[in-house]
Amino acid sequence: MEYTYSAFISYRHLPKDITAAKAVQKALETYRIPRDIQKRTGIKKLNRCFRDQDELPLADDLGESIVKALRESEWLIVICTPDLPKSKWCCREVETFIELGRKDRIIPVLVDGEPKDSYPPQISYRETAQGVEEVEPLAADLRGSLKKQLKTEKMRLAARMLNLDFNDLKKRERERALRRGLVLVSGAFAIVAAFAGYALYQNGLLTEERNQSARNATELLIEKSVRSTSEGEIGSGLTYALQAYESSRLFDDEYDAPVLAALETAMYPEPFSQIGSLKDNGVLHRMATISNDGKFIACRQSDWSLQVYNSVTGDRLYTLRDHRSLWNDAPDISPDCRYVSQITDNEITLFDVADGTQVLTGTLPEGWQACWRGLTLINEIPVWSDEGKAGLYDPFSKELHILEGISREDVPVKAALHRSGTRGFWYDGTYTYLVDTVNREILLTLDISYHGTSCEYTDDGLYFRYWDGVLYHYLRWDTLEEVCQSEKFGSLSPDEKILASRSGSDRFTLWDVSSGEAISSEGYNCLNEVYSLYFVDDDTLIASHGEVQIYKLSTMEVIYHSGEDRMTYGLDFAPGRLVMPLRSGGCLVNLLPEEEDILPHMTLETRQDYTEDDLFGTTSCFPLVGNWQGAVYYLWIDGESFTVNFDEPGLAYIFNNEEYILHPVNGAGNGFVYVSPDGKWQAVIRDQEVDIFRAGEQAEPVMTIPGNGYQRLCAAFYGDIIALGSYVENLVLYDLKTGDCIGTVKTGAMCTDIQFSPDGKHLIGLSGMSEQAVVANTENLAVIMRIPVTEIRMINQMAVGFNEDGTEAIIIYHDGHADVALMNQDLRTLVEKAQKYTG
């Protein structure tokens, strides 16, 4: 029979099904049958496809119309999804088509799900002599990208409807596309040929311009990274270095060495050194608070606005205007580091700490007022009522939790929270209650009233301190275990052995807790009262009295001093960071030692039983013996002197079992020769000047490096590079092929020993005057580590160098113990660390 429609499309009226049905209809109705197949089959094109919404939108009797359309359709195409078997109308359409005797002309089109879940049940089974068995009819698969899949699957549908082999039809389609393409290509070839040369030329110019721009950007970022680090902006230094790394990927590994050097320069700051500052244009901050995770710094201004900064980059994130709060005290960032709070007597507003968007605003329950400016760890507010009750209010759930046991009708109840948000204390004029603010229970009740500093947390938050009228009591802030009683008001060390007392003077005194005797009263006198004392660890104390100083208590050495030009308005600290708003404007961020790997830092280990054989030596030093210019040079062995007499004057040494004779210009100075690892170069130091020899060429020097006004003390080689240490504070490097000075490294004065790493990427210099060993990167000559050196009086018995793979910078002391600084040689590792540090 002749059919009105090539196919009836059955589908559910759901968005995904409708889209697929429309696409299949359009693909079949616009499909062009290849000409040779037209001649063979006599079919020039497929007829229209029936889709009920398009064909019968105004039908009065939809049921009869659909049956009529099914009868006049040669094929039934079913759009299959997991929703289709649930449609009784789609299933009836399939049943009706089967009743017409055309079950073999049903084509499922799978749009979503699996066949067993998406096919109509009528075509998923068939009856056989053995009974009913499950089948999976051939189908078109449109899962995934509908547009992409339909390009191929429309041919699969057409092949079935034309009774053709799919692969044959697909092959003919490719041939037709090829012929069409050849026609288009031949027609466009002349145009392409005309423009090809011009396009290639322009493309070359654009590529060259793009590459040059990328090079300029990479080099500028590397320069900015090194400069930022040298100015104490470690966060910016790492950020610029990471940006340089990304832009340099266009050139493979061409820029890896300078990028690695830039990262290293920022990766190992000294403890307590400046690692950043706020980009605030020198604004005067009245107070500053750093979040507990160290990521955000909030600063209150004189106009009561609040500025929030990124602590790593120093960038200002946002400003909150008119941010007055309870007591207008230091700005409060919630203990969980999620919110900035603004709390007045009976109103609460919370802002997202990351972007300043308002998260919540509301009022406290009627008759209740806030009695602290901040939040607990679970973001509840300490409150008290007109009736003298105390509680914790949740501004999100609006639940009020009464603290049973605190109630004074005639006196307002006040409170204060520990910065952890897990502990706090309430006082009512007679009693002080120490509270677990997470479980909302009173842990301890003290029969003391609050007057000024009679009860509070110590400056560093390690202890709760209260005055009983006779003595100060010190309790651990978390366990509330009492660990000390003293007449002194101050801060207690973590190990409970030292009490630092400020006593309202310009000095502070250290007291032995067990004996009560004064250990030291050498606090720095800057004619300013000591405002606060913070213990960083058992041996490190921060004193704030206008200027900020950090002391190593075992030696009473000042290991950091902010200076008179950097007077502060107090300070705050979080893991790894010390924040200091300056009276002159601006705010500094300094590095605090931290056990966790949260910030760039130097890792130093002490090891035992080291000898110079454990160092990878790039330079050897040998005594010279012989007679030269009227002077005799001796070799000392076990207290006895030996020399060698030659037929002609000269000085000798032995390297790799071979004897070498040298003729220094004006003597041999200290009587030693420094030899490169391959024996190619030798250097003899003569006071300020250095004679350079090339092995096997001649006894006379090939060049003389002139003096710099100070006596040279040591030398080291790597390849054709020599590094020279002297009494002046800069180590100098020369290119031995040209004699040119490459640059200097600031090691500190009296540099007595130098060595290069095995790969020549680093060098280490030992400075007696500065009491440190300096590790520098030879790519940019920047100092990346300053390692403190003790027992400096034994410097002549010390040795410095690197291990065999260059990942450890080592200082060996006279007794065999060694300080070992760990280094990262791999660029990828440094990039990952920098990404972690900068967030």
pLDDT digits (tens, 9 = 90+) for 636-691: 666 666 667 766 788 888 888 888 888 888 877 778 899 998 889 999 998 889 99
Q: Which helix (H) or strand (E) holds 95?
A: helix 88-99
Helix axes 62-71, 88-99, angle to 10 degrees: 40
> Which DSSP letter does residue 614 get?
G
Q: Is 588 in a helix, a strand, or coil?
A: strand
Write the pLDDT tens digit of every residue in 730-789: 899 999 999 999 999 988 888 989 999 999 999 999 998 888 999 999 999 999 999 989
| pLDDT at 304 exceeding the cut of 50 | yes
Least confident of 184-193, 592-601, 647-656: 184-193
What residues form DSSP beta bridges with 299?
A: 288, 307
Q: Provide the percentage of residues in the chain whose pLDDT is more than 90.
A: 38
Mean pLDDT of 128-146: 82
| pLDDT at 11 exceeding the cut of 80 | yes
Q: Which helix (H) or strand (E) holds 185?
A: helix 166-230
Residue in the structure block whose two tokens are 């003597």: 667
CA angle 283, 287, 288 (to 5 degrees): 90
- Tell me, what's the pLDDT at 523? 58
The answer to whether the CB of 65 falls within 8 A of the CB of 57 is: no
Among 295, 306, 407, 409, which Cα is nearest to 354's? 295
How far is 25 from 8, CA to CA, in rounded Å?
9
Burial class, 186, CB count within 10 angstroms (exposed 0-12 / middle 13-18 / buried 19+): exposed
Residue 193 — φ and ψ, nearest 5°? Answer: -60, -35
Write the pLDDT tens digit of every residue in 324-333: 876 656 668 9
What the block records as the tokens of 336 is 């969980």
Among 356, 237, 385, which Cα is nearest to 780's? 237
Mean pLDDT of 317-328: 82
Residue 280: alpha-carbon gap to chain centroid = 23
State the pairing for strand pair 49-50/5-10.
Answer: parallel
Among 653, 656, 688, which Cα is nearest to 672's? 653
| pLDDT at 700 exceeding the cut of 50 | yes
Task: Please count the other Cβ atoms lying within 10 Å of the Cβ belonging to residue 345.
Answer: 12
Mean pLDDT of 819-839: 88
Residue in the structure block whose two tokens are 């793979």: 805
The answer to whether the CB of 234 falls within 8 A of the CB of 276 is: yes
Q: What 3 state SS string does 798-837 have?
A: CEEEECCCCCEEEEECCCCCEEEEECCCCHHHHHHHHHHH
- Tell me, what's the pLDDT at 189? 61
- Summary mean pLDDT of the chain: 86
How far is 94 from 68, CA to CA, in rounded Å?
14
Write the pLDDT tens digit of every residue in 603-644: 889 999 998 888 987 798 888 888 888 777 777 666 666 667
Walk across the sheet containing 712-718 and list its strands: 712-718, 721-726, 730-735, 741-746
Mean pLDDT of 173-191: 69
* DSSP symbols for 488-539: --EEE-TTS-EEEE-TTSSS-EEEETTT--EEE------SS---EEEEEETT
Among 636, 672, 631, 638, which Cα is nearest to 655's? 672
- Tell me, what's the pLDDT at 421? 93
- Tell me, what's the pLDDT at 412? 66
Confidence of residue 496 (pLDDT cuts 50, 70, 90): very high
Among 762, 837, 829, 831, which Cα is nearest to 800's? 762
The answer to whether the CB of 157 falls within 8 A of the CB of 75 is: no
What the block records as the tokens of 34 is 């290849």
Residue 661 — φ and ψ, nearest 5°? Answer: -110, 130
- Tell me, what's the pLDDT at 372? 85
Q: Is 759 in a helix, a strand, or coil?
A: coil
What the block records as the tokens of 311 is 């602590």
The answer to whether the CB of 688 falls within 8 A of the CB of 711 is: yes
How far is 565 from 559, CA to CA, in rounded Å?
17
The answer to whether the CB of 749 falls within 8 A of the CB of 733 is: no
Burial class, 557, CB count within 10 angstroms (exposed 0-12 / middle 13-18 / buried 19+): exposed
Mean pLDDT of 447-476: 81
Largest CA distance in the chain: 130
The answer to whether the CB of 346 falls within 8 A of the CB of 363 is: yes
Least confident of 213-222, 640-649, 654-663, 817-826: 640-649
| pLDDT at 68 exceeding the cut of 60 | yes
* DSSP symbols for 37-53: HHHHH---S---EE-HH
| pLDDT at 364 exceeding the cut of 70 | yes
Confidence of residue 136 (pLDDT cuts 50, 70, 90): confident
How far is 417 from 286, CA to CA, in rounded Å?
21
Confidence of residue 424 (pLDDT cuts 50, 70, 90): very high
Q: Is 564 in a helix, a strand, or coil?
A: helix
| pLDDT at 223 exceeding the cut of 70 | yes
Confidence of residue 34 (pLDDT cuts 50, 70, 90): confident
State the pairing for strand pair 106-110/73-80.
Answer: parallel
Q: Is 103 left (phi over 0), alpha (psi -120 to 50) or beta?
A: alpha
What the block records as the tokens of 2 is 């002749």
- Tell me, what's the pLDDT at 629? 82
pLDDT, greater one: 719 or 649? 719
Among 477, 467, 465, 410, which Cα is nearest to 437's? 477
Q: What 3 state SS string does 218-272 have?
A: HHHHHHHHHHHHHCCCHHHHHHHHHHHHHHHHHHCCCCHHHHHHHHHHHHCCCCC
How far is 12 from 715, CA to CA, in rounded Å?
86
Among 668, 821, 806, 828, which Cα is nearest to 271's? 821
Whole-angstrom CA distances from 620 to 434, 615, 681, 686, 702 are: 67, 12, 11, 18, 20
| pLDDT at 378 exceeding the cut of 60 | yes
How far is 305 from 321, CA to CA, in rounded Å?
4
What the block records as the tokens of 88 is 């009784």
| pLDDT at 394 exceeding the cut of 90 | yes
- Tell me, what's the pLDDT at 525? 46
Confidence of residue 397 (pLDDT cuts 50, 70, 90): very high
- Tell me, what's the pLDDT at 185? 60
How far is 351 from 256, CA to CA, in rounded Å?
42
- Tell me, what's the pLDDT at 56? 47
How far is 690 from 474, CA to CA, in rounded Å?
64
Mean pLDDT of 193-210: 70
- Tell me, what's the pLDDT at 197? 67
How far is 331 from 309, CA to CA, in rounded Å?
13
Confidence of residue 705 (pLDDT cuts 50, 70, 90): very high
Task: Please count the other Cβ atoms lying within 10 Å of the Cβ belonging to residue 575.
Answer: 14
| pLDDT at 494 exceeding the cut of 90 | yes
Q: Is 791 in a helix, a strand, or coil?
A: coil
The CA R_g of the chain, rounded to the nearest whole Å, is: 42
- Tell me, what's the pLDDT at 261? 92
| pLDDT at 453 exceeding the cut of 60 | no
Q: Which helix (H) or strand (E) holds 150?
A: helix 146-161
> Which DSSP letter does residue 707 get?
P
Q: Provide the percentage of residues in the chain whose pLDDT is more than 70.
A: 91
Q: Is 760 in a helix, a strand, or coil?
A: coil
Q: Is 672 in a helix, a strand, or coil?
A: strand
pLDDT, greater one: 669 or 714? 714
* Residues recorded for the chain: 839
How far is 480 from 594, CA to CA, in rounded Å?
25
